[in-house]
Structure 1
Amino acid sequence: MIAWILVGGRLIPTPLLGTLPRPDLVIAADGGARHAVLLGVTVDTWVGDFDSSGGVHISAPREVHPTAKNATDAELAVQAARSRGATELVILGAFGGRFDHALALALGAVRLTGEGLRVTLTSGDEWGWPLLPSSPLSLALPPGATLSVLALTELRALTLRGVRWPLTGADVPLGSGWTVSNEVQEERVTAELGAGLALLTLLPDTAEEPR
């Protein structure tokens, strides 16, 4: 089951968004509900403490939480989606807002991938996918797009194919710029790790959609 999680960062109305697989479930996290109109979706559940949704008016059942809580509104939305059976999450509005929230989303996506979910992060003009040893990636991506592998830990045996500068069994230090700003050259990019945690990111420069 595919769930779209609408969160409060930037969401650019690019043609790329229009070819995402349609969701079985839509959960909005507080102010992320403002993206529903742009996306043309009906929100099934609206969760959060509602401190950032001023001026947003949608008709959806609310799950109201206190401001003093042990999870972000985005985490509460993910919990709501998982409790309803979601196995794939597309988090929209993931980039371009507060850095602390964007980083928490990215790290949380890595954790969720380790728990067996498929997770995509997007703001329309930026995309991200967690890369773990247990979850290699094979993605159809637009040639010419900028692709980076961000080393969230020390990486062992990184193999990357379909790009201008491929790698085979490379060891990459934590936070290294070595694997930043590569370029997609083939229609399919594959990435796998022997050990470590990473995030593969994409800056498309064509109207084609990663799928």
Structure 2
Amino acid sequence: MIAWILVGGRLTRTPALSALPRPALVVAADGGGRHAAALDISVDAWVGDFDSSDGLHLDAPRFSHPRNKASTDAELAAALARERGATELYVLGAFGGRFDHTFALALGAVRMQAEGCGVTLHSGDEWGRPLLPGVALHLPLRHGQTFSVLAASDLSGLSIGGARWNLDRVAVPLGSGWTVSNEAAGEVVCRLEAGTALVTVLEEGWDL
């Protein structure tokens, strides 16, 4: 089951965002509920400590948590979605905003993917998916589209095909800039033998 998790980062209406598969469940994490109106969707559950949703009103059940908690609102929202049967999460509003939350989302996506729950992080103008060992990641990108493979650990046996700069079973150290800002020649395929990474993609017009 597909669930959308609405979080409080940047969200830009793009064709890539509009093309996402429609969800069976929508969970808003605190102030991320503001994206519901822009997406023209109803929220099924609203989760958080509600410290960033002043003035926001959603017609959805609220699941309140204390501010003194051990999880972010996004983590709580994802956990609720998985408890309700979600096997694939699209975290919308994932990029931009506070860096600590974005970084936690990226690492959390890698962890949940390893646990068997598919995760896509999306802000419309930028999106990302985890890359784990033994599972090829196919990205149907346009010619010239910018993508990066961000090493979340030391990587072994990284292969990239269908790109301007292809790689064949190379080692990439944690945090290396070597695999940042590659360009697609068409469909890109990434493979990894050991380690964990996040592959991010920029939509047209966002050349950072």
Q: TM-score range by the shorter chain?
A: over 0.9
CA distance in 2, matches of 1:163, 1:13: 26
Q: Cα offset for 1:143?
A: 2.0
Secondary structure of the structure 1 residue equivalent to 2:198: strand
Q: Cα offset for 1:138?
A: 1.1
Matched to 1:194, the amino acid is: E
RMSD: 1.0
* Counterpart position of 2:133: 133
Q: Cα offset for 1:136?
A: 2.6
Q: How do 1:10-159 and structure 2 match up within 5 A?
A: 10-159=10-159
CA distance in 1, matches of 2:79, 2:14: 28
Q: Normalising by the residue count of structure 2, what TM-score does the alignment of the two structures yield? A: 0.96
Pair 1:175 & 2:175 matched: yes
The superposition leaves residues 167-196 of structure 1 with CA deviations (integer Å, 9 ceiling, x where unpaired) of 11111111111101100111x211110101
Paired residues of 1:148 and 1:202 also in contact (CA < 8 A): yes
* Counterpart position of 2:194: 195
**Unaligned residue ranges in structure 1 (runs of 5+):** 207-211
The superposition leaves residues 31-60 of structure 1 with CA deviations (integer Å, 9 ceiling, x where unpaired) of 000000111110000000100001212110
Secondary structure of the structure 2 residue equivalent to 1:121: strand
**Unaligned residue ranges in structure 2 (runs of 5+):** none
Secondary structure of the structure 2 residue equivalent to 1:105: helix
Q: Normalising by the residue count of structure 1, what TM-score does the alignment of the two structures yield? A: 0.95
CA distance in 2, matches of 1:182, 1:11: 24
Pair 1:2 & 2:2 matched: yes
CA distance in 1, matches of 2:38, 2:88: 21
Secondary structure of the structure 2 residue equivalent to 1:104: helix
